[in-house]
Amino acid sequence: MQTIIISSPLVSHRLSLALPVPRSPLINYHHGAPPSIRLSSHRFTNSLRLFSSAAAAAASRDSEMATEDVQDPRIAKIAASIRVIPDFPKPGIMFQDITTLLLDTEAFKDTIALFVDRYKGKDISVVAGVEARGFIFGPPIALAIGAKFVPMRKPKKLPGKVISEEYSLEYGTDKIEMHVGAVEPGERAIIIDDLIATGGTLAAAIRLLERVGVKIVECACVIELPELKGKEKLGETPLFVLVSSA
Give the x/- contact pattern for another protein in 69-88, rule: CB under 8 A. Answer: --------------x-x--x
Instruction: Name which of 108 and 167 has its Cβ closer to another protein.
Output: 108
Decide: is 215 part of the binding site for another protein (CB under 8 A): no
Query: 23: exposed, middle or buried (C-beta count within 10 Å: 0-12, 13-18, 19+)?
Result: middle
Separation of alpha carbons 7 and 14, rounded Å: 8
Decide: is 139 part of the binding site for another protein (CB under 8 A): yes
Give CA separation, 154 vs 151, 174, 178, 222, in Å: 10, 8, 9, 21
Q: Which backbone phi and psi does 101 adopt, to 5 degrees?
A: -65, -40
- Candidate list 148, 175, 207, 215; residue touching another protein; CB under 8 A: 148
CB of 137 to another protein, least distance (A): 8
* 236 a catalytic residue: no
Q: Which of 133, 153, 177, 224 is catalytic?
A: 133
- Candidate list 80, 147, 206, 221; residue touching another protein; CB under 8 A: 147
Instruction: Name which of 16 and 100 has its Cβ closer to another protein.
Output: 100
Instruction: Name which of 14 and 179 has its Cβ closer to another protein.
Output: 179
- Candidate list 14, 95, 198, 212; residue touching another protein; CB under 8 A: 95
Name the site residues for another protein (rule: CB under 8 A).
83, 85, 88-89, 95, 97, 99, 102-105, 108-109, 112, 131-133, 135-140, 142-143, 146-151, 153, 156-160, 179, 182
Catalytic residues: 133, 170
